[in-house]
Chain A
Amino acid sequence: MNFSPGKRPLSLSRREALWAYAFIAPWTIGFIIFTIGPMLASLFFSFTDYNIVDSPRWIGATNYVNLFHDDLFWHALGITFKFAAIALPLGLVFSYMIAVLLNSKISGINIWRTVYFLPSVIAGVAVALLWARIFDSKFGILNPFLEKLGIQGPGWFSDPHWAMSALVIMSLWGVGGNVIIYLAGLQGVPTDLYEAAKVDGATAWQRFWYITLPMTTPVIFYNLVLGLIGTFQYFTEVYVISNGTGGPARATLFYNLYLYQNAFRYFHMGYASTMAWVLFIIVLGLTLLIFRSSDLWVYYEGQIKGK
């Protein structure tokens, strides 16, 4: 708090801004060193014909124009939007419900929580095998179960009409990550609020609706934004399950999978970069919309007002 003599003392707001920049410096420095270069490089590639092996050749907006005439681009974009429209809201609600249940004070809750965390732990090739095992039309787990309910189970991953549904179910199974975040959010709701509400005679539903839900909007907001970003880049699961093909019959050719094929299978890195930047614009636009809306529904206890 010593102001050096002879210099004008920093105004409070300048001082605050400097603190802010100082704290975010680790990211800013890392961004400049590791991130901005490759990002700009890919932006450059998007205007070139680049097969990775030879040097990129500038072709202007050709890739962007070609994109609009590429049936598979529209097909992949459509699939991705459809998946996002179904899996994202379902996943958000489903994981929230599980988190609320897992936040109750019942005995052995640690074990329950661990069980629900289990699906998000297993990764890679084992997941693909596991899921194929579950959805298998003949020897799977799901179809015999459906049969008992009198439903003839489909071929799931082998049937183009059902592959998407299988992926949605799969995504619900793996909501463990969201659940953890919600749980942390629920844990963060000050207990004295509940006690005060109990004294006021609020019902469980009222306590949930007027305390729990508003107090956890920041984490819902987080899961929504990251869910959006993640769903539009949905890749690993479908890459592993379809063996990189997007099959059966292109039913799971998601945007990022098609992008990946262009980049590392067809060696059209320029075109893939174009696809990446188009997706970037779409996701950025949607994210900004969500951010704009957040004033209306996200409640921050410690928000700094007046920017």
Chain B
Amino acid sequence: MKNKLFKLLALFAMASMILTACGGGKAAAPAEKVKVVIFVGMGTGTDPDQVDAQNKLAEKYNTTHDNIQIEFLIVPHTEYATRYLAMLSGGNAPQLVGPNGISSVAEFFDTWEDVTPYIKADNLDLSDFYGPAVELNTYPDKNTGLPLGLYPSFLFYNKDLFDAAGVDYPTHDFNDKSWTMDKLREDAMKLTLDKNGKNATDPAFDPANIVQYGYDDSWDGMRGTLADWGAENVGRPTSADYKTATADNPQWQQGLQWISDGVWKDHFIGGADIQAGRDSAGTDPFGPGTTGMFYSHTWYMAEGLHGLTFSADIAPVPYNPQGKRIARIDADNFTIPKDAKHKQEAWEVMKWLTSPEIIVDVCRIYGCIPARKSVAGKYLEQLKTDYPGIDYDVIFKSIDYLDKPNNEEWIPEWSKIEDALNNGLSLVYSGQEKDAKKVLTDANAEVQKILDEYWATHK
């Protein structure tokens, strides 16, 4: 009997192998249409409701186009790099990748096709795109793709907490020069409360039992967080020739010290334990209603402005100590891998996705401001229905103050330098090292070493 069982098992195993082999052997149906696979997962776009929306978008395209068929390939965000690299080396590169942040464009910079020849060949008019949006895709040796959308940054603030603290709301006037980092700190300290209801300006304030913080900017890395402080290279930690590390510049030191003091001296910013606590609850910094002001981008709106138990609005970021306002920006585009087999078709799809007819729908899926001026009105109407009662001007005006060079822009060894810098930020937030100068000097040395190693083998 056992013998039979064993044989049965073997038989079953064999049959199953054949079965699956057959199932797998089904080759793609002979297609007259060229299939353009769009790799989604480098940035946003993998959330289940986004997946459904993208499928609908594909359906829309496929029913109206005879020569090309598009398909969104969803790759869970956590493993996008592995999968993308595996596909490239396996010789089945996707035709299109996106939406990409400036960061993922930078991460895989060498793998992208230059779209300049395609723009020229089609004599494509780029004037409808916001100038900065085009610029963000333009590098000395290539243009990585047509702009899809922009994500300017601003402050989300909790009106209830301001009311309770008796602090005036942050100004919405972009010309009000009194709205500075110092003013922000003052306000934020008044918004920071311990469990006895005392605020951070009170001598009896108990820093060990803080229940509410005035300010948070913990969702960005070192480059992003410090880009606003007005350094010569703004969001870039190197010189323009990428050979010298400049992360220890005085403006960044000032900014990082402001954060360090904010966490450890003035107590209006939550440290690493507060951030970890939010992560563990699976929630964002602003939503729980215990953060007065949260610095973030338009992409946070979909998540952050829905279902709040308090009233909220948005305000411009303050002037930095240099007397300038810089509001760092993120941007999304679609890119074509050099190894893609149907680049021309991919280009056609890229044009469609960023066309005036469809760009608002596409941006609605991803939460970006459409990069075309001509659809601004249409987009505003949609904003009004999606997010009633906020100051839409702040969104559009913030674009003018973007960081240049951008805080996510390509540098050699992008990820390695990113990690080295963020390690410095982690040292500050965890209280390992509270002296910004020390942190940035060490980080800068590490960045310099990475650059030196890079230039030893490049050119």
Residues of A within 8 A of B (CB): 49, 51-54, 125, 129, 132-133, 135-140, 155-160, 244-245, 247-250, 261, 264-267
B430 touches A159 (CB 8 A): yes
**Per-residue A-contact encoding for B36-73, CB less than 8 Å = 1, 0 else:** 00000000000000000000000000000000000000
CB distance from B277 to the nearest CB of A (A): 5
Known: A159-B272, A249-B432, A264-B82. A138 touches B277 (CB 8 A): yes
B282 at the interface (CB under 8 A from A): yes
Contact residues of A: prevailing secondary structure: loop
B89 touches A155 (CB 8 A): no
Inter-chain contacts of A53 with B (CB < 8 A): 85, 88-89, 108, 110-111
Docked CA distance A51–B274 (Å):
38
B419 touches A245 (CB 8 A): yes
Inter-chain contacts of B275 with A (CB < 8 A): 158
Known: A53-B111, A129-B282, A249-B426. A261 touches B419 (CB 8 A): yes
Inter-chain contacts of B429 with A (CB < 8 A): 248
Inter-chain contacts of B271 with A (CB < 8 A): 158
Docked CA distance A137–B431 (Å):
15
B88 touches A136 (CB 8 A): no
Docked CA distance A136–B274 (Å):
9
Inter-chain contacts of B111 with A (CB < 8 A): 53
Query: Ordered nearest first, which 10 A-B pairs have the shortest CB separation?
Result: A132-B280, A158-B272, A158-B276, A155-B273, A158-B273, A137-B273, A248-B430, A249-B426, A133-B280, A264-B81
- CB neighbors of A among B241-276 (8 A): 271-276
A249 touches B430 (CB 8 A): yes
**Per-residue A-contact encoding for B415-426, CB less than 8 Å = 1, 0 else:** 110010011001
Docked CA distance A52–B89 (Å):
7
* 23 A-B contacts (beta carbon < 8 Å): A53-B108, A125-B78, A129-B280, A129-B282, A132-B276, A132-B279, A136-B273, A136-B277, A137-B276, A138-B277, A158-B275, A158-B276, A159-B430, A160-B432, A245-B422, A248-B429, A248-B430, A249-B423, A249-B426, A249-B430, A250-B426, A264-B81, A265-B415
Inter-chain contacts of A155 with B (CB < 8 A): 272-273, 276, 430
- CB neighbors of A among B428-459 (8 A): 429-430, 432, 457
B413 touches A266 (CB 8 A): yes
Inter-chain contacts of A261 with B (CB < 8 A): 415, 419
Docked CA distance A266–B417 (Å):
9
Inter-chain contacts of B416 with A (CB < 8 A): 265-266
CB distance from B282 to the nearest CB of A (A): 6
CB distance from A130 to the nearest CB of B (A): 9
B273 touches A52 (CB 8 A): no
Inter-chain contacts of A249 with B (CB < 8 A): 423, 426-427, 430, 432
B121 at the interface (CB under 8 A from A): no
Known: A52-B85, A52-B88, A267-B85. A250 touches B423 (CB 8 A): yes
The one of A54, A159, A247 in contact with B273, judged by C-beta atoms closer than 8 angstroms, is: A159
- CB neighbors of A among B269-307 (8 A): 271-277, 279-282
B85 touches A264 (CB 8 A): yes
CB distance from A160 to the nearest CB of B (A): 6
Interface size on B, residues (CB 8 A): 32
Docked CA distance A39–B282 (Å):
39
B419 touches A137 (CB 8 A): no
CB distance from B441 to the nearest CB of A (A): 16
Inter-chain contacts of A156 with B (CB < 8 A): 276
Q: Considering only CB atoms, which chain A residue lies closest to B414 in the complex?
A: A266
CB distance from A288 to the nearest CB of B (A): 32
Docked CA distance A290–B296 (Å):
54
Inter-chain contacts of A129 with B (CB < 8 A): 280, 282
**Per-residue A-contact encoding for B20-46, CB less than 8 Å = 1, 0 else:** 000000000000000000000000000
Q: Considering only CB atoms, which chain B residue lies closest to A161 in the complex?
A: B432
Q: Considering only CB atoms, which chain B residue lies closest to A152 in the complex?
A: B208
Inter-chain contacts of A140 with B (CB < 8 A): 280
Inter-chain contacts of B422 with A (CB < 8 A): 245, 247
Docked CA distance A245–B421 (Å):
12
Inter-chain contacts of A137 with B (CB < 8 A): 273, 276-277
Inter-chain contacts of B432 with A (CB < 8 A): 160, 248-249
Inter-chain contacts of B457 with A (CB < 8 A): 49
Inter-chain contacts of A265 with B (CB < 8 A): 81, 415-416, 419
Inter-chain contacts of A267 with B (CB < 8 A): 85
A247 touches B280 (CB 8 A): no
Docked CA distance A135–B273 (Å):
10
CB distance from A142 to the nearest CB of B (A): 12
Inter-chain contacts of B426 with A (CB < 8 A): 245, 247-250
Docked CA distance A164–B376 (Å):
51
Q: Considering only CB atoms, which chain A residue lies closest to B418 in the complex?
A: A265
Docked CA distance A160–B428 (Å):
11
CB distance from B223 to the nearest CB of A (A): 15
Inter-chain contacts of B78 with A (CB < 8 A): 125, 244
Please give 13 more A-B residue pairs, beta carbons under 8 A apart, in addition to A52-B89, A249-B427, A266-B413.
Answer: A52-B88, A53-B85, A53-B108, A136-B281, A137-B273, A155-B430, A247-B422, A247-B426, A248-B426, A248-B430, A249-B426, A249-B432, A265-B415
CB distance from A233 to the nearest CB of B (A): 16
Inter-chain contacts of A139 with B (CB < 8 A): 277, 280-281
Q: Considering only CB atoms, which chain A residue lies closest to B275 in the complex?
A: A158
CB distance from B6 to the nearest CB of A (A): 14
CB distance from A234 to the nearest CB of B (A): 18
Inter-chain contacts of B276 with A (CB < 8 A): 132, 135-137, 155-158
Docked CA distance A133–B432 (Å):
23
Inter-chain contacts of B427 with A (CB < 8 A): 249
Known: A158-B430, A159-B430, A267-B85. A247 touches B277 (CB 8 A): no
Inter-chain contacts of B108 with A (CB < 8 A): 53
Name which of B271, B281, B419, B429 has the most chain A CB atoms within 10 A of its CB: B419
- CB neighbors of A among B397-420 (8 A): 413, 415-416, 419
Docked CA distance A244–B422 (Å):
12
Docked CA distance A57–B373 (Å):
47
CB distance from B425 to the nearest CB of A (A): 9
Name which of A49, A51, A133, A264 has the most chain B CB atoms within 10 A of its CB: A264
Inter-chain contacts of B85 with A (CB < 8 A): 52-53, 264, 267
CB distance from B260 to the nearest CB of A (A): 14
Inter-chain contacts of A157 with B (CB < 8 A): 276
- CB neighbors of A among B349-366 (8 A): none
Inter-chain contacts of A158 with B (CB < 8 A): 271-273, 275-276, 430
Inter-chain contacts of A138 with B (CB < 8 A): 273-274, 277
